[in-house]
């Protein structure tokens, strides 16, 4: 068994299970026979829009998309499609322009069009319309402070809502009493629409006519990993609760549980947090988590662990994450890396690149959080073939 290849196959299986295009198309296959307008916001906006177009066909008259720079799908071209690239994880002027345009289009939507909203993770940074007195500088400062301090998503979104006209149910209020549908790919604990995208389509006081559905979440991804493992003759223990909190605590808890399980491995989904120093290097929470685990592995320990983001990006990098084993630190050191310096300065990407342990997927069409998969295997399976690049 090539454990590294199996880990990549399991991760790919999880991505396909929560793919935005497939989940949206499935949900909209039996949608009412109405002329429709789609508003898609988030890292998975393009994939979700493709699903809507496949399901609705000629009934879909307009598509307005705001997604992360570099996440554009070239299939979304042509009349009736407006596609904006915006900033993530820290908003910029494009975020304000996109937020203003979103609000303008929702408020001015023709009465004969049924609005469908497709919301996924990343929306909070991609679109914004600030309250009077707030500025782009104050918005960026808030986001940078929250990310650096490791705020959880609930606290970060609460602060974003405080200064926003469109968060905290702002888009819902613009709809008034208009019937609408909102489909969400959730990357937050509890899958609460009032939290996803800082609550762009959150429920408002007194109720509203928006119908809301979660079409994909981390639980579905975790279940798929466990199911797919059976095809390789593996029995994986899966955690029902999400992991969260400090990256060092998550690394320690996962490794302890992996060592203790009587199964062939362990899968867990969630999102860790990191507290960044003022000066830091290349990396995100998943590569830092992977490197933290690698530093704790015992010499010759027969474990391999994948830590990766389901959106295909880790923080501001193009790395999805990494697969580490008991020889990761040795490989990086031989390649000339000062591993301890890199770990202290959150420069995990340079270490894992030197160890040839990084995982790259490109934009995946989904964003349900992060996945941790650990496998136990015989000593001879620790390395196997080089990592294939996922398509």
Confidence of residue 385 (pLDDT cuts 50, 70, 90): very low
> Is 164 inside a domain boundary?
yes
Residues 143, 38, single domain; the answer is yes
CB 37 within 8 A of CB 56: no
Domain end point (choices 197, 216, 235): 216
CB atoms near residue 177 (< 10 Å): 6
> Is 27 inside a domain boundary?
yes
Q: What is the pTM of this model?
A: 0.91
> Is 387 inside a domain boundary?
no
Query: What pLDDT digit, counting tens, does each position of 5-48 carry?
Result: 999 999 999 999 999 999 999 999 999 999 999 999 999 999 99
Domain total in the chain: 2
Residue 140's alpha-carbon distances to 42, 177, 294, in angstroms, are 18, 33, 33
Residue 341's alpha-carbon distances to 100, 248, 277, 281, 294, in angstroms, are 43, 16, 13, 10, 15
Residues 122, 253, single domain; the answer is no
Give the CATH number for residue 74: 3.40.50.10180
**Domain boundaries, position 75:** 19-216
Q: Is the pLDDT of residue 134 over 50?
A: yes
Alpha helices in the chain (DSSP H): 3-17, 20-28, 45-56, 93-107, 123-126, 136-149, 153-162, 170-175, 218-230, 247-260, 285-296, 328-334, 339-344, 348-354
Query: What pLDDT digit, counting tens, does each position of 215-268 carry?
Result: 999 999 999 999 999 988 999 999 989 999 999 999 999 999 999 999 999 999
CB 183 within 8 A of CB 117: yes
Kindly report the CA angle at 242 between 238 and 246, in degrees rounded to 5?
120
């Amino acid at each position: 068994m090539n454990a590294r290849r199996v880990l990549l196959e399991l991760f790919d299986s999880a991505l396909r299970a929560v793919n935005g295009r497939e989940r949206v198309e499935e949900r909209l296959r039996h949608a009412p026979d109405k002329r429709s307008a789609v508003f898609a916001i988030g890292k998975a906006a393009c994939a979700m829009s493709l699903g809507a177009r496949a399901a609705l066909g000629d009934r879909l008259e307009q598509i307005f998309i705001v997604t992360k720079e570099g996440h554009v799908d070239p299939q979304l071209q042509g009349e009736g499609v407006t596609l904006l690239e915006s900033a993530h994880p820290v908003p910029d002027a494009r975020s304000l322009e996109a937020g203003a345009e979103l609000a303008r289009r929702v408020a001015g939507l023709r009465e004969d069009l049924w609005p469908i909203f497709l919301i996924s993770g990343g929306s909070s940074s991609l679109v914004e319309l600030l309250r009077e007195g707030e500025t782009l500088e104050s918005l960026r400062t808030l986001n940078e402070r929250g990310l650096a301090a490791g705020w959880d998503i609930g606290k970060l979104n609460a602060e974003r809502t405080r200064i926003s006209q469109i968060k905290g149910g702002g888009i819902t209020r613009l709809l008034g009493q208009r019937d609408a549908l909102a489909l969400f790919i959730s990357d937050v604990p509890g899958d609460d629409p009032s939290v996803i995208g800082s609550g762009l389509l959150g429920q408002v006081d007194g109720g509203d006519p928006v119908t809301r559905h979660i079409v994909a979440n981390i639980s579905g991804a975790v279940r798929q990993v466990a199911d797919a493992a059976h095809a390789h003759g593996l029995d994986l223990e899966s955690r029902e609760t999400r992991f969260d909190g400090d990256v060092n605590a998550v690394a320690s808890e996962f490794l302890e549980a992996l060592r203790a399980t009587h199964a062939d491995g362990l899968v867990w989904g969630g999102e860790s947090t990191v507290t960044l120093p003022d000066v830091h290097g290349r990396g995100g929470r998943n590569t830092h988590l992977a490197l933290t685990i690698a530093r704790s592995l015992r010499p010759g320990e027969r474990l391999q662990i994948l830590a990766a983001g389901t959106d295909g990006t880790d923080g501001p990098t193009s790395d999805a994450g990494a697969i580490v084993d008991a020889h990761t630190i040795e490989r990086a050191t031989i390649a000339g890396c000062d591993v301890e310096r890199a770990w202290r300065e959150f420069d995990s990407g340079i270490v894992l690149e030197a160890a040839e342990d990084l995982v790259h997927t490109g934009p995946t069409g989904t964003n349900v959080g992060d996945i941790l998969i650990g496998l136990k295997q015989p000593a001879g399976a620790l390395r196997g073939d080089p990592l294939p690049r996922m398509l």
